[in-house]
Structure 1
Amino acid sequence: MEGNSLPEEDVEMMENSDGMKTVTDESFPMVEPFIGMEFESEEAAKSFYDNYAICMGFVMRVDAFRRSMRDGTVVWRRLVCNKEGFRRSRPRRSESRKPRAITREGCKALIVVKREKSGKWVVTKFEKEHNHPLLPLSPNVRRNPLLPQTPDEKDAKIQELSAELSRERRRCTALQQQLDMVLKEMEEHSNHLSTNINNVIQSVREIESNTFIKPLS
């Protein structure tokens, strides 16, 4: 497959002080990923691997990710071949329905990118080999984003969005619980202050009442 690679000098990259190369152009010619490869953003990494997939002859699928415990932003992302894993068997709803074609074959090809403290996204893992035939395309060919996705791509996207929605719901529930606790503490503190103020007022009134009572002659 290396015969499909374009000269590296055709790729717009920037070398930093550590000697690492950062991809700066989002319309990348095909260059093989490597561990330590840097991108300016997660989207740049996705765009690069998608173009690489097109040139090599497979379809990229956006897979698992991890979020920061501090602010909830994505800090780790896995990009895989769409033939990664195996489709889970599900009971057929109808005997007359035609079964879907098997598209997942346990392919291990992937890259993993991680956001560093500098803000750049770095390739931390790269698996090149596929366990199925590839259909390389010309590097100038770009997949039309308006073309329909495969059933597995749709399933993966639905699962990703459902998981993200579930996480956001749990996060909102946790925030609501924290807010309720704060409001409860504020209410208790307010009631405590009101009680203390009423006690002070009562004490002042008793003192004033005793002061104005004249002693009996």
Structure 2
Amino acid sequence: MIESSSEKLDAPEGILDVEPYLGMEFESEEAAKVFYDAYATRLGFIMRVDAFRRSMRDGKVVWRRLVCNKEGFRKLRPRRSESRKPRAITREGCKAMMVVKKEKSGKWVVTRFDKEHNHPLVPIPSNGHRSMLLSQTPDEKDVKIRELSAELQRERKRSAALQEQLNMVLRDMEEHSNHLSRNIDDIIQSVREIESKQVELHGAKS
């Protein structure tokens, strides 16, 4: 089951400036993500939506881990070329996280919270667009990709229809041009015939 990314982001009022704590409740998973993303922005790190678990009964997400974007370590891969610059290290094994679980009541409750980071924190100006992108889960990103693909397909069909209309106009213009050319040729031929007859008449008189 894919939960809609258009769900209301209903973080409880008055807690966006509060530090997470065990037992903290949210109305939805999205509300928990919005809260932790705001908390991350205020403290100076970037949130990453991490692991989740689904219900065996209906397949819906019932457990979610939200982490610092420096969680874990980057996998070491052989460099393709010695001339290529090594990529900057973005993961430093940070353990900071917040885990939320959906209870039978429907509330999402904080069951784990680690606040310590192993790297400097730099407060980042709040940016709604950035927050929205960072808060998207893999499922939500797939939905967005499908929406953009469908929109691209519609634009391609619209472009093809406009191209066909343009081709029809060009064909009509070509036919009209050919018709004008034939008319001009007929007029030139008629003028030549008239001139030829005038020359014959003039010769007969002389």
Same fold (TM over 0.5): yes
1:104 is matched with 91
Matched, 1:30 2:14: no
Q: Which has the higher contact order (CA 8 A, sep 6+)?
A: 2
CA contact (8 A) 1:23 1:38 kept: no
Structure 2 unaligned regions, length at least 5: 1-9, 143-206
- TM-score, structure 2 normalization: 0.57
Structure 2 match to 1:212: none
Note if 1:80 corresponds to 2:67. Answer: yes
Letter matched to residue 108 of structure 1: K
Q: Which protein has the bigger helix share?
A: 2
Mapped pair 1:51 → 2:38:
yes
The answer to whether the 8 A contact 1:37-1:122 is kept is yes
1:126 matched residue in structure 2 = 113
Distance 1:55 1:121, change over 3 A: same
**TM-score, with length taken from structure 1:** 0.54
Between the aligned partners of 2:12 and 2:128, the Cα distance in structure 1 is 22
- State the percentage of identical aligned residues: 69
Q: Would you identify which runs of 4 or more consecutive aligned residues in structure 1 move more than 6 Å?
A: none
Number of corresponding residues: 130
- Kindly name which structure, 1 or 2, has the bigger radius of gyration based on alpha carbons: 2
Residues 96 and 116, structure 2, Cα contact 8 Å, conserved in 1:
yes
Residue 61, structure 1, aligned to residue 48, structure 2: yes
Superposed CA RMSD in Å reads: 2.8
* Cα deviation, residue 76, structure 1: 0.2
1:14-72 superposed Cα distances (whole Å, 9 cap, x missing partner): xxxxxxxx9523x8532100000000000000000000000000000000000001111
Shift of 1:146: 5.0
Q: Is the 8 A contact 1:85 1:107 kept in 2?
A: yes
Find the aligned partners of 1:54 and 1:65 in 2 and give their Cα distance.
22
> 1:126-157 CA deviation, whole Å, 9 max, x = no partner?
001101111135xxx4224259x8xxx7xx97
CA distance in 2, matches of 1:85, 1:115: 25
